[in-house]
A and B are shown apart, each in its own frame.
Chain A
Amino acid sequence: MCVSVPGQVIEIDGTSGKVDVAGNTVEADFSFLPDVKPGEYVLVHAGFAIQKYDQAEALETLRLLREAYQVTS
C-alpha cells in the first residue's frame, strides 16, 4: 500500500502526466510537484508523483559507499 516506485517523467499537462516506470507508462498526478519537467525522475505512490528522485545523489551515495567499503569490481 505504501509501495512507491521511481520512474521518468514522459509528459505533463497541468497536474496530470505520464511516467515511465520500468518500461510501463503510468498515469500520475503532479499536484505535489508543480515544478517537475519531462525527463526528470520522480517517485510515484498511489497514482501521485510524491517526490523528485535525485539520480545524481543516488549515484554519488553509491560511489561513496563503494569507496568506503573498498568494493572495486
Chain B
Amino acid sequence: MELLAKGYRDEDLGRRILSRIRGEMDGAPTVRLMEVCGTHTMSIGKLGLRRAIPYNLVLLSGPGWPVCVTPGGYVDAAADLALDGITVITFGDMVRVPGSRTSLERARASRGRIVVASSVTAALDLARNEGGDVVFLAVGFETTAPTTAAAVLTASREGLNNFSVLVSHRLVPPALRLIMDDPDCAVSGFILPGHVSTIIGTEPYEFLADEFGVPGVVAGFELIDVLVALESLVHMIRSGAAAVNNAYTRVVRTGGNRKAEEIMAEVFEVVDTEWRGIGRIPMSGLAVREEYAAFDAACKYGIQVGGCELPPGCSCGSVLRGVLRPAECPLFGRRCTPQQPVGPCMVSTEGACAVSYKYGEK
C-alpha cells in the first residue's frame, strides 16, 4: 500500500505530465476548470498546483464542501438543541461555522453539550450507553449520506428512540447542473469528486458531456491523480471532445455502490434544498422518509431550517459557483482570515477561501 501511495506521488512522473499540459496549453485561450470537491481543493493547494500550471489554465473551487453550503439556520437549530440539554454530535468541521445568529462553539461555551466524532457510529453508541436524547448532525454529500441512512436503520431495528439525525445532506450532480445553467458560467471542465463517485458511480455526470458539451474526469487525490485528470480535461477541451471519464478506477466503479445507494433510498427521499449563498437547487437534497420520522430530529423537535443568507459582505456563493475567486472577495485576507473567519468558506480547512489564504494563492 505504501509503495503504491508513493507511486501516485512520483514527482518525476508528475513533471512529465505537467510538461504535456504545458504543451497543450501553449498559446491557447484561457481554460477554466472546476474542482468540485473540497478535498481536491485541499490537495491542489497543498501540492502548489495552481502555481505550477500554465497561467492560462485556471482552477476554480466548487460547491463540494459541506460546511460551506450548510444553511446558517441549520447551525442555529443545532446550537439551540445543545442549549436545551440535548447531546449534539457533529463532525469537527462544523463547530466553528457561523450560523445566522450563533455557532456550535458559542453553544458549547454556554454549556451546551457538543461532542465531536468522526462517525455516526459514535452517536449510536452514545445513544445506547446514555439515557438522554442524542442528535447527530448529518451533513455531507453522497459519500456520507449512506452512513447516516445505515445508522437510522440500525436505530430503527434496535428501537433506539433517543437517537435522531438532523439532516442537511446534499447531492453533487444537481449543483453541477445549476453551475452549468448559470449564464455567467465560465467553467469548461470538471474535476469530479472521487469519493462521492465511489457511491454514485460515473453515470450521474453524463449530462455534463451530453447536454452541455463539457468534459468531466473523476479523479483521486494524489499528485498523479490530479495531474492525469487535468491533462485529460485539457486534452479533451483543446480537441473539442467532451466525455465523462473515470481516472480513479482503483476505487470508483461505473455503477457506484448499489448496496449503499439502496440503503440511502430506503431512508431518504430526494427533495429541493437551499444551499447557503447559492440558493434553492431542485432535487439536490435528502429528507428522511415518513416511515423513519421518529429518527428525524426536524420532525421530533419541530425544527424548520431557514437562514440561507451569508454574513454581510461575504461572497461565498459566487466563489462556490466559480464566478469569483477567493482573492477577489473584498474581505479576503483583510476582514476575513482563518483566525477570524467571516464566511463559511474561510472556516473549514478545506473551504476554498481558507485553502487560498493558507497557500497564498492570488
Closest to B261 in A: A32
Interface residues of B in 139-176 (CB under 8 A from A): 139-141, 143-144, 146-147, 150
B146 touches A57 (CB 8 A): no
C-alpha gap A53/B248 in the complex (Å): 10
Do A58 and B146 form a contact, CB below 8 Å, given A43-B198, A51-B253, A71-B10?
no
Interface size class of B (residues with CB under 8 A): 35 or more
Shortest C-beta distance, B235 to chain A (Å), equals 12
Residues on the A chain within 8 Å of B10, using CB: 71
Chain B binding surface, main DSSP class: helix
**B139 lies within 8 A of A48 (CB):** no
Q: Max chain B CB contacts within 10 Å: which of A34, A48, A55?
A: A48
Q: Would A51 and B39 count as touching, CB distance under 8 A?
A: no
A29-57 residues with Cβ-Cβ distance < 8 A to B are 29, 31-34, 41, 43, 45-48, 50-55, 57
Asked, given contacts A1-B140, A34-B259, A51-B257, whether A6 binds B1 with beta carbons under 8 Å apart, the answer is: yes
Instruction: Give Cα A52 to B88, complex, Å.
Output: 32
Number of A residues, CB within 8 Å of B: 37
Point out residues on A near B: beta carbons under 8 Å.
1-4, 6-8, 22, 27, 29, 31-34, 41, 43, 45-48, 50-55, 57-59, 61-62, 65-66, 69-71, 73
Residues of B at the A interface (CB closer than 8 Å) are: 1-2, 4, 7-8, 10, 12-13, 16-17, 20, 37-39, 64-67, 91, 93, 118-122, 139-141, 143-144, 146-147, 150, 193, 195-196, 198-199, 224, 228, 249-253, 257, 259-260, 263, 348, 350
